[in-house]
Amino acid sequence: MKRILVVDDEENIRLLYKEEFAEEGYEVAVAASAEEAMAQIEAQRPDLITLDIRMPGIDGIEFLRLLREQDRDLPVVIVTAYGEHKQDFSVWASDAYVVKSADMDELKAMVRKVLPPN
């Protein structure tokens, strides 16, 4: 089973994504911060990460930069409420960029495109 790591500081988003991706056939882990995500990646490397940009401490853009220094092949889908980051060169290291929405169809489709379930 493919494993997704959801990195978002909002608990409601983590719970929603965990439930929705589990229904799609993925194993899902969650992290509330970049630091927590790094520890989880070291413990068990996921097959894909969904990553929020605006988080306290290390933000998503800095986390992505640090991650790419260690692992260039791990797929990352940036999921943020802020569309203006799409033109920011620093997010181009991600595999996809999705603006957060109550409708998860776009995010699910993007995850399936980047990482099909087993």
- The model's pLDDT over 36-83, given as tens digits with 9 standing for 90+, comes to 999 999 999 999 999 998 899 999 989 999 999 999 899 999 888 755
Identify which of 25, 24, 29 has the alpha carbon closest to the alpha carbon of residue 4.
29
Query: What value does the mean pLDDT take over residues 85-113?
Result: 72
The whole-number pLDDT of residue 101 equals 80
Record the pTM: 0.88
Q: Hey, what domains does the chain have and what are their CATH numbers?
A: 3-101 (3.40.50.2300)
Question: Of residues 87 and 108, which shows the higher confidence score?
Answer: 108
The whole-number pLDDT of residue 81 equals 75
